Amino acid sequence: MSIAPILETLLAGHDLDFATASAVFADLLDGRLSEGQAAALLIALRSKGESATELAAAATAALARAHLVEGLPSPRMDTCGTGGDGRQSFNCSTAVALFLADMGYTIVKHGNRAVSSSCGSADIVEALGLPMAQDPHEVAAAARTDRFVFLFAPHFHPAFARIAPLRRALGVRTLFNLLGPLINPARPTHQILGVPEERLVPIMSAALAQIGVQHAAVVHGAGGFDELTPCGPGHVAWVQNGAVREEVIHPKSLGFEYFPPTSLSCTGKEDALDLQRRVLTGQGPAPLQAMVALNLGLALHLLEDLPLAEAMAKARTKVSQGILREVPHA
């Protein structure tokens, strides 16, 4: 297909329809665009602002080229943000995933190395001695036996390797920075998806609705975090069977104290790993325990359809108890 009319459409400020976006992303991922054309496409999309339909089309094209995982139980959940909040924050989503697995839920965590947190999901999984699946068969087996499996994104998306040099050369955020939570090759039925800007909540929730997740929450937390925080009200979009409903969640009304945003940050990778271990054994600082409980409660609300207040109370109890086993040190 000719890229010129697509670029003209984007530069005029108009969104691509699903069919056109799907075709151009297929060309991009299959290497049929020159480096200049690919760069122009990504920058034009960024300049206009990516639409939910464009993101859904890109996700569909990426999943069509991914190493997909079959034979997984349902329900299965991912807790994954886009990153990019720049907060050097505690890795809350991984702690939530591990608590959920300990409670018997199937977790298919899709992630990478650190982007905006002090320590990425892959870093934590390695430090705790947990397996990092490299092929689809390992994922299905681990999900059945351990309830938790980590899918290291580069192992499952070989088409992204040809885009990586261009992304590094551009050095700015592109659509690919938003795509990660939408392209889990285990195709979760339930999901918490965090975004670093409030404007992304309706866009990402509409994209999730289009790609067919059963029940999800797209969240932006007070303090500029890509998860709910005990710093103030958080913005949530609930996605259920194609419908989206937005809501503001007030942690104080759910029994949580407020803490300053600085109390959720880490000084570096070692500090982040130490805090992760402490939280997982029920010994973490109160602000981090509150942050994890808020997002764990959100997950339980999605998975069990409990009233939100009841789900939050259950989560606080679980986080205060910790995971009832020794958490290994690196």
CATH fold for domain 76-321: Pyrimidine Nucleoside Phosphorylase; Chain A, domain 2 (3.40.1030)
- Identify which of 83-87, 171-175, 233-237 has the greatest average pLDDT: 233-237
* pLDDT score of 113 more than 70: no
Q: What pLDDT score does 184 carry? A: 96
pLDDT at residue 114 greater than cutoff 60: no
Q: What is the pLDDT of residue 328?
A: 44
Find out whether 180 and 153 touch, Cβ atoms under 8 Å.
Answer: yes
Q: Sorting pLDDT into bands at 50, 70 and 90, what band is 320?
A: very high
The phi-psi region of residue 71 (left if phi > 0; otherwise alpha if psi is between -120 and 50; otherwise beta) is left
Token duo for residue 16: 């691509």
pTM > 0.85: yes or no? yes
Q: Judge contact between 83 and 52, C-beta under 8 A.
A: no
Residue 239 CB contacts under 8 Å (≥ 6 apart), including other chains: 205, 208, 209, 213, 215, 216, 217, 218
Q: How far is CA 215 from the centre of its chain?
A: 14
pLDDT confidence band for 330 (50 / 70 / 90):
very low
Cβ neighbourhood burial of 134 (10 Å; 0-12, 13-18, 19+)? middle
The 8-class DSSP code of residue 256 comes to P
- Render pLDDT for 185-232 as a digit per residue (tens, 0 to 9): 999 999 999 999 999 999 999 999 999 899 999 999 999 999 999 999
Give the start-to-end residue ranges of the domains of the chain.
Answer: 4-49, 76-321
What residues contact residue 159 under an 8 Å CB cut-off, 6+ apart? Answer: 29, 30, 62, 65, 66
